[in-house]
Amino acid sequence: MLQKASPKNPLSYIDPQPDSPWQTYLAQVDRVLPYLGDLARWGETLRRPKRALIVDVPIEMDDGTVQHFEGYRVQHNLSRGPGKGGVRYHPQVTLEEVMALAAWMTVKNAAVGLPFGGAKGGIRVEPSRLSRKELERLTRRYTSEIGIIIGPQQDIPAPDVNTNAQIMAWMMDTYSMNIGGTATGVVTGKPVQLGGSLGRVKATGRGVFVTGREAARRIQLPLEGARLAVQGFGNVGSIAAELFADAGAKLVAVQDHTGALQAEQGLDVAALQAHVQQHGGVAGFKGGQAIAADDFWSVPCDILIPAALEGQVTEARARMTTAKLVLEGANGPTLPGADDILAERGVLVVPDVICNAGGVTVSYFEWVQDFSSFFWSEDEINARLDKILGGAFLHIWDTADRLKITLRTAAFVVACERVLEARAERGLYP
């Protein structure tokens, strides 16, 4: 069952609560250390972010007042390459959350074999309350504040919760103006005409589908007629639902911040996407029956995709779900205790660090294309994505089989070996 994360040399600048994102990450690290052999000597590296920057982001509002917002950029580990990770705008963003997200990016990039370290950023703000011009001023000021640690060879931000291609365009432009030359490679997830990559918008959802399809095949779960429940119907959840529906699955339940819906016969994914685009959430969609938020977790389903925020699959919800397969579209959605319950019940969990790695993989493609000024077709992008994720999933599956451990721990074994080998080979400077 759940082991408490190691209290060894705790960080002085945060006080993580039992089910907090950072505590969840530490518990995952504790589980992997016994499998790392001599590399465990470097294990403390995994528990300590290399760099954490907290910035004040003051902007002038449209009404002439000045408001201040907290901003963060954390670089967890840069042993294998420049930092890579998204920027989220959310009223509940904290330093601790960003630290955990950066750490998971370290693991994710290494698990997939991308030449990046892990980083993450965020601003503590409710973006829906800002005008477009206020959002632009916020983004540009934040970019200027963190500009001392980002760059195409240092740390490359990307979209995350409540950020998009437009935010990345403003970030790229601001950084470029500050250095006196256009630097398209400073961010990924940009508009295509500014050096963005085809296939990037759908990449994370596509990765959930690709790894989910392979996992379903291995547990002999046919996608044709499979019942799908998706929590979070933004970029990741909606695209994953669309691809699974195209493969013959039916979306029987969906939940987001506005409400939850159920439809035994299946929801029309395209119509639901259009509704969400127009109304900002699933609430009010006429093609399904509204249900209580907690009832979402007990809707009979075969595949569950938590694609919202971290910490959503609790122990109670792990006992409630009827899913045979859980695909983590979000980062850190499953608490360690819930992981144990799902494993005991024989539910296969494809962990976030491989399941939702499609986004960072195509971000890597975008970064490479920006440096070469040579761009690939969307078919080439998707083929390369499928090949990289398929190979990474196979290696993690084989590791889990060999060591008789869960896919999550196996993904951490693969990733942490790569990170700590790089740390050991580089040595300590000075």
Q: Per residue in 117-170, pLDDT tens?
A: 999 999 999 999 999 999 999 999 999 999 999 999 999 999 998 999 999 999
CA distance 335 to 20: 9
CA distance 309 to 335: 12
Does the pLDDT at position 412 exceed 60?
yes
**CA 90 to each of CA 83, 254, 282, 402: distance values in angstroms, whole numbers, following the listed order:** 21, 21, 19, 40
Mean pLDDT of 196-221: 95
CA distance 197 to 368: 10
CA distance 233 to 235: 7
Predicted pLDDT of residue 251: 97
Pair type for strands 66-77 and 117-124 = antiparallel
CA distance 77 to 61: 36
* Closest alpha carbon to 149 in 71, 231, 62: 71
Does the pLDDT at position 1 exceed 50?
no
Tell me the pLDDT tens digit for each residue of 340-393: 999 999 999 999 999 999 999 999 999 999 999 999 999 999 999 999 999 999
Mean pLDDT of 57-63: 98
Cβ contact 244:219 at 8 Å: no
Cis peptide upstream of residue 430 (ω within 30 degrees of 0) = yes
Does the pLDDT at position 3 exceed 80?
no
CA distance 312 to 308: 8
Q: How many CB atoms lie within 10 A of CB 220?
A: 7
Predicted pLDDT of residue 18: 84
Residue 73 backbone dihedrals phi, psi, to 5 degrees:
-145, 120
Cβ contact 219:325 at 8 Å: yes
Predicted pLDDT of residue 182: 96
Mean pLDDT of 193-200: 95
Predicted pLDDT of residue 9: 62
Least confident of 36-40, 132-136, 198-202: 198-202
* Closest alpha carbon to 72 in 59, 58, 88, 61: 88
Mean pLDDT of 97-112: 97
Does the pLDDT at position 4 exceed 80?
no
Does the pLDDT at position 6 exceed 80?
no
CA distance 177 to 343: 51
Residue numbers annotated as active site: 120
* Closest alpha carbon to 364 in 331, 388, 393: 388
Query: Is the whole-model pTM more than 0.75?
Result: yes
Tell me the pLDDT tens digit for each residue of 257-306: 999 999 999 999 999 999 999 999 999 999 899 999 999 999 999 999 99
Cβ contact 341:364 at 8 Å: no
The confidence band for 202, taking pLDDT boundaries of 50, 70 and 90, is: very high
Residues of the chain above pLDDT 70, percent: 98
Q: What is the mean pLDDT of the chain?
A: 95
∠ CA 49-187-136, nearest 5°, is 105
* Closest alpha carbon to 303 in 201, 417, 214: 214
Mean pLDDT of 236-259: 96
Predicted pLDDT of residue 2: 46
